[in-house]
């Protein structure tokens, strides 16, 4: 899930729509008796905002399935998480741009982990 600033510029544009299907590490979800249903769908638009910076608006769509922690029945829950983020190696706290490329897997993993904590059916 790489966004390449140079490729966007070579196309003569300053933005690019994207869509990826992502297969994360199997141990990303550590909820007992729950599994992440893959692939995870990631879509959005990347906007060039500077020489080596991007602003990305997007959406992450995924499901988890497993045993409900309250009722113990099989449960499946879908998540749709919208995000908007700056990617800039020179700003502390930003997701990095490395060699004019952004790897979206880091932010997608972060969004999944943050949004499934404490979920019940």
Helices (H), the chain: 5-10, 105-116
57: buried, middle or exposed (CB in 10 Å: 19+, 13-18, 0-12)?
middle
CA 9, 11, 15, 21 torsion-angle sign: negative
pTM: 0.85
* Whole-number Å distance between alpha carbons of 58 and 40: 13
pLDDT tens track, the chain, 121 positions: 899 999 999 999 999 999 999 998 877 877 777 888 889 999 999 999 988 899 999 999 999 998 877 788 888 999 999 999 999 988 888 888 999 999 999 999 999 989 887 555 5
């Amino acid at each position: 899930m790489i966004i390449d600033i140079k490729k966007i510029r070579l196309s003569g544009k300053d933005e690019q729509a994207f869509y990826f299907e992502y297969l994360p590490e199997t141990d990303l979800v550590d909820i007992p008796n729950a599994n992440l249903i893959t692939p995870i769908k990631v879509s959005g638009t990347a906007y060039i905002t500077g020489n080596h910076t991007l602003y990305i608006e997007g959406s992450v769509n995924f499901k988890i399935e497993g045993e409900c922690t309250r009722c113990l029945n099989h449960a499946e829950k879908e998540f749709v998480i919208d995000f908007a983020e700056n990617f800039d190696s020179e700003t502390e706290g930003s997701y990095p741009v490395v060699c004019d490329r952004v790897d979206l897997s880091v932010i997608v993993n972060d969004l999944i982990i943050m949004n499934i904590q404490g979920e019940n059916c």
